[in-house]
Amino acid sequence: MTAVTALLSDYVVGTIEDASKSWGVSVSFSSIILLPIVGNATEHAGAVIFAIRDKLDISLGVALGSSTQIAMFVVPLSVIVGWMMGIHMDLDFNLLETGSLFVSVLVTAFTLQDGTSHYMKGLILILCYVVISACFFVLRSPTLNQTDAAIVALGSSAEGVMVS
């Protein structure tokens, strides 16, 4: 499964720039907003099903656990593997990426701090995602270079391994 996931991830990375051009959206929007939605569809469905069954702790564990795995394990591992492959990568993110991470963590922490849940909190989290998506939609970044392609490929393949 790891080899198949890596092969499919490589194919997705190879076509993401052409797909972005044909759809008229930036590569950043495609790889940061659209790709994770499609790639984690089963995980999102599981979180929604657990939430409908009033199993909020499991639902939050599924939803937040994946984000934590990517932020704490996959991204640093991608940089280290990139170094071993001879690709120069670093963890120097631009202002929009750093700001969106900070805002999303802050909003999530304030939303979940009292341990209760209702529709307004869910709406706030969805609107936060919509605002971040809109920011990346209007951002016009340069084309996908070799470093960015390697990060997306390693992140997708490592995430697929963790999910399976």
Question: What are the pLDDT digits (tens) for 33-67?
Answer: 887 877 777 888 888 898 889 888 888 888 888 78
Q: What is the pLDDT of residues 83-127, one digit of tens each?
A: 999 988 888 888 888 899 899 889 988 988 887 778 888 899 889
What residue numbers bound the domain in which 42 lies? 2-159
Tokens of 154: 């390693």
- b/e 103-142 (16+ beta carbons within 10 angstroms → b): ebeebbeebeeeeeeeeebeeebeebeeebbebbeeeebe
With respect to residue 32, please indicate whether it lies within any of the assigned structural domains.
yes
Lowest mean pLDDT among 107-116, 130-139, 145-154: 145-154
With respect to residue 164, please indicate whether it lies within any of the assigned structural domains.
no
Per the structure, the count of domains in the chain is 1
With respect to residue 83, please indicate whether it lies within any of the assigned structural domains.
yes
Q: Looking at beta carbons, which pairs linking 11-17 to residues 24 or more positions away fall under 8 Å? A: 12/152, 12/153, 12/156, 13/144, 13/149, 13/152, 13/153, 13/156, 14/149, 16/144, 16/152, 17/143, 17/144
In this predicted structure, the answer to whether residue 131 has a pLDDT above a threshold of 90 is: yes
Residue 49 and residue 103: Cα distance in Å, rounded?
26
With respect to residue 75, please indicate whether it lies within any of the assigned structural domains.
yes
With respect to residue 57, please indicate whether it lies within any of the assigned structural domains.
yes
Residue 150 and residue 163: Cα distance in Å, rounded?
20
Tokens of 94: 């631009």
With respect to residue 109, please indicate whether it lies within any of the assigned structural domains.
yes
pTM: 0.70
